[in-house]
Structure 1
């Protein structure tokens, strides 16, 4: 009973957070700006949405193939369709209830491929750990190739923290901040080790341990080369789909692949904050567009919602389609993809 109540509270919290970001993205928009948003969307190159849609579907399919590689050390050989359907239905469920989609993915493969859920959980932890690293790399690349755009607002906002009275960087302040960061990390490790028996601290410790375990488990992957190539391909497809969305809007087409890279990095954070990125994605992308000198409340909002809608439609259409075909696909299918080793 307690677990169900916590699930409902969690769902309501994230739903409320998503609605708050939706309100935040539109609260300052007046009538004239709404007309500009409608005009920008009406004049967009709508035909580019189709290849962007297909690229995102392909990215999800490659993700499914990569997940299948992680199952091989366990002796599992599930069908490509069942794995892909599990991934898409998982995304569909996550759009409403965060993290429940991960459970659904494992449940689907457990039902149709006779795989053990407890063993699949480890592969998902490994996937998430790799995704965290990839997101950090995406941010690093964004700073490397678009540093002149995105570093200026950050430097302007935080310059007072690290500068002295003359406006120059203060070595003393920087040293104090670095020392404070190291002290925080040391304190965090102490708290996790010393107070791990406390429920909240224990959960935080499990998250940190899970990421570390997931990354270390990569050594057991049999097809490391294929895993690496597919990981790169997933993010390249994400980048291509995002860049096509930027080209679709005439006011942002000049940003090119560089703008696509920063939008991918920043937008990915929004997808994590709220279920399916609702509200948060548009807010972050809108703010990013203001760094490029575009109006946050018009072009920023138009681009943010355009990209979010395309990604959401992919999940809705393909997720529902996979759900409707799943039983039919497995109805008369011999379980040739059952585990090749005893469970």
Structure 2
């Protein structure tokens, strides 16, 4: 019961946050600007949406292949179809309830494959760590190649948090942040050791052990080169799909791959903030277009909502399709294996 209430509260919070971002992105748009947004979308090169669909779907496919590589050191070899289906269904669930999709895809895969869901959680953590490093690299590349556009804004925004009123670095703020992080880690460690005999805490420790076991698998990856290749390929496909999406609007086509790089960096943050990036993704992309000298209320919003809509359609469409195919495929597979076993038994008897 408590878990259900927590899930509802979590969903309500992130959905509310998304609605807030939606309101922030459209609250200043008047009737004339709505007409300009509509006009920009109508004049867009709509045929470019198809390759964006293909590239995004490929990125999810290679993410499934990369996940399989992380499972190999634990002796797990699930089928590519089941792994890909679990990834897409996980994305679909994440669009509604953040982070729940990670649990769901591990549980689904363990249902029809010889894998343990708790150990798969560690591979998910490893994936997220790699994605975080990849996103940081994307931000660094964006600052290097598009620093003349976003450098001043980034330094001004983040610099205020760690500076005092005079504009100098605030040692006090930095120390407070570090102290809070260390305190949180220390308290969690103490609680797990002190109350380890309680069932709920014991279960948490069991999950943590499973996570650590999964994390340790990175040391034993047999195909490190392919894992790195897939990681680079995934983010390259993200960049390519975003850049093609930018070319779709005539007003943003001149931004090219540089604009795609900054849009990917900023948009990725929006995808993390709210379920499926609703509200946050279009808002951040619109603000970014303002830095390029475009009208963020019209062209910025048109591009933001166009890119977000394409990604969301892929997640919902593919997620729903694979939700239906997943069970059908595995039950059919089980029936075929059962018939084969029955046939072999009859042959042995005769």
Q: TM-score, normalised by structure 1?
A: 0.86
Name the SS for the 1:95 alignment partner.
helix
Give yes or no for the alignment of 1:236 onto 2:229.
no
2: CA distance, partners of 1:265 / 1:187: 27
The alignment covers a number of residue pairs equal to 325
With 190-199 and 110-119 compared, the bigger mean Cα shift is at 190-199
Larger-gyration structure (1/2): 2
Runs in 1 of length 4+ with deviation above 4 angstroms? 155-165, 194-199, 208-217
> CA separation in 2, counterparts of 1:260 and 1:302?
15
Q: Between 86-95 and 148-157, report the one with greater CA deviation.
A: 148-157
Question: 1:150 is matched with which residue?
Answer: 150
Aligned pairs for 1:299-310 within 5 A: 299-310=299-310
In structure 1, the partner of 2:182 is: 189
The 5 A counterparts of 1:79-228 are 79-155=79-155, 173-174=168-169, 176-177=170-171, 180-181=173-174, 184-194=177-187, 196-197=189-190, 217-228=217-228
Q: CA deviation at 1:131?
A: 1.0
- Unaligned 5+ segments in structure 1 are 337-343
**Structure 1 residue 34 displacement after superposition:** 0.2
Displacement after TM superposition at 1:188 (Å): 2.5
Equivalent position of 2:294 in the other structure: 294
CA deviation vs aligned residue, 1:16-58 (integer Å, no higher than 9, x gap): 1111111111111000000000000000000000001100000
Q: Secondary structure at the match of 1:282?
A: helix
Q: 2-side partners of 1:277 and 1:80: how far apart?
A: 27
Deviation at 1:111, TM superposition (A): 1.1
Backbone CA RMSD of aligned residues: 2.9
Q: What CA distance in whole angstroms lies between the structure 2 residues aligned with 1:37 and 1:233?
A: 33
**Structure with higher RCO (Cα < 8 A, 6+ apart):** 1
Separation (CA, whole Å) in 2 of partners of 1:289 and 1:274: 20
Deviation at 1:276, TM superposition (A): 0.3
Q: Flag structure 2 segments of 5+ consecutive residues without an equivalent.
A: 196-200, 338-350
DSSP-derived class of the 2:96 partner = coil
Distance (Å, rounded) in 1 between the aligned partners of 2:4 and 2:313: 29
Deviates more, 1:129-138 or 1:305-314: 129-138
What is the match of residue 258 of structure 2?
Answer: 258
